[in-house]
Structure 1
Amino acid sequence: MQLIEHSDSPRYVRLHDDDNVVVVVNDQGVAAGSRFPDGLTVIEGVPQSHKVALRDIPAGGPVLRYGQVIGYAREPLRQGSWVKETQLDMPSAPPLDSLPMSDAVPSSLPPLEGFTFEGYRNADGTVGTRNILGITTTVQCVTGVLDHAVSRIRKELLPKYPNVDDVVALTHSYGCGVAITARDAYIPIRTVRNLARNPNLGGEALVIGLGCEKLQASQVMHEDDPSVDLSEQWLYRLQDSRNGFVEMIEQIMELAEARLQKLDQRRRETVPASELILGMQCGGSDAFSGITANPVLGYASDLLIRAGATVMFSEVTEVRDAIYMLTSRAENTEVANALVREMDWYDRYLQSGEADRSANTTPGNKKGGLSNIVEKSLGSIVKSGSSAINGVLGPGERVSRKGLIFCATPASDFVCGTLQLAAGMNLHVFTTGRGTPYGLAMAPVVKVSTRTELAERWPDLIDIDAGRIASGRATLEEMGWELFRYYLDVASGRQQTWAERHVLHNDLVLFNPAPIT
């Protein structure tokens, strides 16, 4: 990365020698006539994080960032001009039948030993970073009753069990009025099932159903599952109540207290960093996402992989245009083919809805300097670091191996977070350039800003400021290690994220591509 910087001068970032556009660093942008230290002069005002043409680009000529084509000029672009999204034609998505397959598998880096955190060991061998009572549901109809019960559990029961962090209702809008036997119904069903198996719930979840719903409790509960004890005694159906609402609440609280008594016996113990299952995501992205925050996540991801941990990256539409860079890194052709499988499934899913990947880029993304999904994808995949890709999960599947895993999800923040929780994530990290109060109830969320200006405006929402890289106040290596150590502190409970302190929790949102009846 080339950073043109001086304390009182216009500054830009150029990521690759082949790039013919650069990104403005200055918080307030640069005014028309501003001259960068290397002599480049802007011919119009350009906002922060937007692109400037480094040289004349002819009509039809490629516009390059990250050393890759992000678009083709619709008109001649003059040196020093502001390169806007309306001036670019988006390239076609890479064809899936001619991708490089496992032809550039990275060599393993030396193991990173001796790093630990304080976690809660579970019967199935997983480790929680929090000790939470989870109460899952089979249908949305029970949500109101369960919310009332959870409120009382927090007030009346939790104070008696100080070693339990919280009680969380795993509510959702699925379960009835749905085509339960439709081809793709397996996705929301296995997501609900696996949410109850998240390591942070300690294998002690409860299930609350109504009784007449299409998603029956038997599809969520399984006997002899080492990840969670979901036998019939831990199920309560509201329609079994003979005494109305009061009895419903009393029954739920009675079951909850029995679970709380068991969870309260648990204690943190020292475990290796290899027990972390980190989920990575970006939202409210801008042009700095691929310059600062996502590269920091990538560096820390490599450290975690070296320590033997599990790291998941996601968001199909935000890797689709850079898929050729990922299939090359797949550890074998089986993993490469699995990546292609998930891209193809999602292409067909979008097509069935008469949409395509270009629908992903938001107004905020564009205001933050991202011209299209191609540019966004190239910045998004940087989160995956430089390690070999070891596995692929379909949406709602549970991770069963360590290493770098692609967890196939939509790019929606809330759906992606829900699916990563179902996959077994016990710690979450979220990068943002535009800003978001996003948080999850089941796992701590570390928020990393792409720009210092955002971190300064939101000092009580942003945990780590990666914008220091763009200002030259920190190196990528320094910030990668800082984030790695912060992960261990948060996982150990020594540090609470801002989202935890403010109790900022987004709803769980299931991915349901099947019809609603």
Structure 2
Amino acid sequence: MINVSENTIVQTSPSDNVGIVCHALGVRKGALVRKDIVVAQDIPMGHKVALLEIPEGNEIVRYGQVIGYANTNIHIGEWVDEQKMTLPQPPDLESIPLNHNSSDDSKEVQIEPLAGYTFEGYRNADGSVGTKNVLGITTSVQCVAGITQFIAQKIKQELLPGYPNVDDVFAFNHSYGCGVAINAPAAIVPIRTIQNIAQNPNFGGEIMVIGLGCEKLRPERLLPAGDNNGDSSILYLQDEAFSGFEEMVDGIMDMAEKHLKKLNARKRETCSAADLVVGMQCGGSDAFSGITGNPAAGFAADLIVRAGGTVMFSEVTEVRDAVHLLIPRTATPEVAQKLKNEMQWYDDYLEKGMADRSANPTPGNKKGGLSNVVEKALGSIAKSGTSPIVDVVAPGEKIRRKGLNFVATPASDFVCGTLQLAAGMNMHIFITGRGTPYGLSMVPVIKVSSNSTLSNRWFDLIDFDAGPIAFGEKTIEEMGWELFHLILEVASGKQKVAADRLGIHNDLVLFNPGPLT
């Protein structure tokens, strides 16, 4: 429950000893808040004010959880920022019990079903459903990236107008494929990412693979096992049948036209909300993200799960410090152990790279009021809602189960989005407090603003303003339902998101922990 004072100070939990400044102009030194607290200095919007005396060494509490320890005496009304806090240790993975859901660990948590909600989507032969109808072009090696960019533009200009049911042409270029240790254990991460992105439901199975010819990663490996479309879906630029660049281009254009004809025959049909596969992600977060945007997205996530659909949340480094709150939500002890394993894998990965979690948050996050990664993590997990976690998916793998999944990814926006695409998402929710023009060509990206100041300033870039929650103007439940209905409208193609309307689409970025050679 969020308590909002008449002076716009938000306290996220009754046990918190700090509050968040909501007013767009912040609060000035000498202002009276909570009727009995005099602000000791100017405090910007989104930053923390001490609601109680916090002696040196004592806990600083937000969300009812310890986010740090005071490294100096903090008085009532003072600004509490990262300079006054010591970062606590992360939860010890070994000491967290595997499951708290039931005395009978064999029983999974049941959720109340939500029936009758549908959207208009593109049903595929494998049972998946697309929310867009996109011609996908991928590569087996970065060497051909220049020609795929060239050809994508040529297809858009010369061929796409003749196929009105096809939404877009997308070239997935990447830095992998050659000069790499292709059989190293960690190489499976980028390889299966490319493989699984090619199977994303918005491509409708009509993927094209452009190879060079001498690369280590063979194009045939990128098509699904048993796929018999190799001759019509793979083209090698080194094929001796081509004489010069123009013949290569003509060959690709001929291949594209065959795929466009098949995609153009696809029609939207009524599909259950159970066919949604929604990726939840936040980037450019601020102190409001965990109060407004993420909880509203989390409520919508619960509605999707209740409707029989699939939701994924990610970002290991922004989950690690709140994992003790997630493990009790896992459906079985086996899922709990998988979640621990992914946390440990990433701990080891960071240690090998001589990095640690203090590198997160970013300067922009801190300017938005997030003092450290613990505070960021506690707000980040709110977008997962309250549903049981039914499975944990390793980087680059596909979703296996309907319901709420943790899909392990780095926190980087571009890498996280890439891995969620590989997992099979057909809708993307992106929550931001500082602002980002982030968009993806392959799936619609609904950008949610955590505060109305950003939404008003970026009126043509933000799709959904969750800011009213901070002032008590709307509840998390009300905004969660609004977001749920918006997801159905966008998935049906009835409403375009800002990124698609403006043509703003980010490159995809592989997570490649494998060695180069």
Give the TM-score range, shorter chain: over 0.9
* 1:206-217 equivalence runs, <5 A: 206-217=208-219
Amino acid in the other structure paired with 1:358: S
Match for 2:346: what amino acid? Y
- 1:125-150 deviations in whole A, cap 9, x for unaligned? 00000000001110111111111111
- After the TM superposition, which residues 286-297 of structure 1 pair with which residues of structure 2 at under 5 Å, given as runs? 286-297=286-297
Which residue in 1 is equivalent to 2:161?
Answer: 159
Once residues 209 and 482 of structure 2 are traced to their aligned partners in structure 1, the CA distance between those partners, rounded to angstroms, is 39
**2:424 aligned partner:** 424
Query: Which digits, 9 at most, give the CA deviation of each residue in 1:25-68, with x for residues without a partner?
Result: 11010000111143221111111000011111010000000000
User: How far has the Cα of 1:234 moved from its partner?
Assistant: 1.2
Q: CA deviation at 1:93?
A: 0.8
214-223 or 248-257: which moved more? 214-223
1:136 maps to which residue?
A: 138
Q: How many pairs were matched up?
A: 511
Q: Superposition RMSD on alpha carbons, in Å?
A: 1.1
Indicate the residue corresponding to 1:190 in structure 2: 192
- SS at 1:328 equivalent: helix
Q: Displacement of 1:218 after TM fit?
A: 2.6
Match of 2:231 in 1: 232
Shift of 1:345: 0.4
Query: How far apart are the structure 1 equivalents of 2:46 and 2:287?
Result: 5
CA distance in 2, matches of 1:54, 1:129: 47
Q: Is structure 2 residue 178 aligned with structure 1 residue 181?
A: no
> CA–CA distance in 2 between the matches of 1:300 and 1:332?
23
Query: Do residues 440 (structure 1) and 443 (structure 2) align?
Result: no
1:495 aligns with 2:495: yes
What is aligned with 2:463?
463
Q: Which runs of 5+ in 2 are unaligned?
A: 103-107
- Give the match for residue 102 of structure 1: 99
Return the alpha-carbon distance in structure 2 between the equivalents of residues 103 and 404 of structure 1. 17
Q: Of 54, 57, 69, which aligns to 2:51?
A: 54
Deviations 1:242-293 (A, max 9, x none): 3111011101110000000001011000000000000010000011010000
Q: Which residue in 1 is equivalent to 2:113?
A: 111
In the alignment, is residue 390 of structure 1 matched against residue 399 of structure 2?
Answer: no
Report % sequence identity: 58
- Corresponding letter in the other structure for 1:122: N
Cα deviation for residue 515 of structure 1 reads 1.2
Equivalent pair of 2:134/2:203 in contact (CA under 8 Å) = yes
Name the structure 2 match of 1:409: 409
Partner of 2:366: 366
Tell me the equivalent position of 2:105: none
Q: Secondary structure of 2:470's partner? A: coil
Q: Does 1:90 align with 2:87?
A: yes
Q: Report the alpha carbon displacement of residue 2 of structure 1 after superposing the two structures with TM.
A: 3.4
**Aligned-partner residue type, residue 497 of structure 1:** V
2:15 to 14, 18, 30: 18
Corresponding residue number in structure 2 for 1:381: 381
Indicate conservation of the 8 Å contact 1:222/1:230, yes or no: no
Offset of residue 230 of structure 1: 4.4
What secondary structure, in the 3-state scheme, does the structure 1 residue paired with 2:286 have?
coil
User: What is the aligned partner in structure 2 of residue 314 from structure 1?
Assistant: 314
Tell me, which stretches of 5 or more residues in structure 1 are unaligned? Answer: none
Alignment partners' CA distance in 1, 2:393 and 2:46 = 34
Tell me, in whole angstroms, the C-alpha distance in 2 between the residues paired with 1:329 and 1:478: 24
Q: Deviation digits for residues 178-220 of structure 1, max 9, x if unmatched?
A: 1111120000000011110000000110110001111111321
Q: Which amino acid aligns with 1:152?
A: K
In the TM superposition, residue 310 of structure 1 has moved relative to its aligned partner by 0.3
After alignment, is 357-366 or 272-281 more displaced? 357-366
Q: Which amino acid aligns with 1:198?
A: N
Q: Residue in 2 aligned with 1:168?
A: 170
